[in-house]
Amino acid sequence: MQKQQFFSHKFKQRIKLDFSLIKKGIKCPNCKKLYTISIEKNKKYMICIQCKNTFKRRTVYYFNIMELAVIKGEEGFTLQEAIQWCEAENVYSVRRICNEYLECEGQRYKRYYLKNIERS
């Protein structure tokens, strides 16, 4: 609890990146273009219309969530933000990836962070 307060206090002194101003949506893990991959329900594979590569849905989500984690850094992010970020309908896929590859803090309102991030 104390650690948490200290943490948020410290963070307020920094210049916060305006999350709402960053373009959201799925980016291609290969050509890094936005909106070239559409994630369809019940489809495990999808094609980027730009570079014509095929990706597993999981790979696409993973890439985009990791990008979010890097942008957010020590601030971390919530599952809701990750879903927004990926414009995901499939909450479970996003949550599974977050739980598997990221560190999390909190019980009910979890925040996710990159593993081994330097949190000062």
Looking at the chain, how many residues does it have?
A: 120
List the one residue from 51, 66, 79, 104 that touches Zn ion (CB under 5 A).
Answer: 51
Q: Closer to Zn ion at the Cβ: 6 or 35?
A: 35
Amino acid at 74: E
Q: Closer to Zn ion at the Cβ: 12 or 44?
A: 44
Locus of tokens 């020590």 = 74
Q: Which residues pair with 111 in a beta bridge?
A: 105
Rg over alpha carbons for the chain, rounded to the nearest Å, is: 15
According to the binding rule CB under 5 A, does residue 48 interact with Zn ion? yes
- Kindly report the backbone phi and psi dihedral angles of residue 69, in degrees, each rounded to the nearest multiple of 5, phi listed first: -60, -40
Spatial distance between the Cα atoms of 50 and 46, rounded to a whole number of angstroms: 12
Q: Closer to Zn ion at the Cβ: 46 or 102?
A: 46
Task: With contacts defined by CB under 5 A, name the span among 3-11, 16-24, 41-49, 105-113 that binds Zn ion.
Answer: 41-49
List the one residue from 24, 50, 66, 117 that touches Zn ion (CB under 5 A).
Answer: 50
Q: Closer to Zn ion at the Cβ: 51 or 104?
A: 51
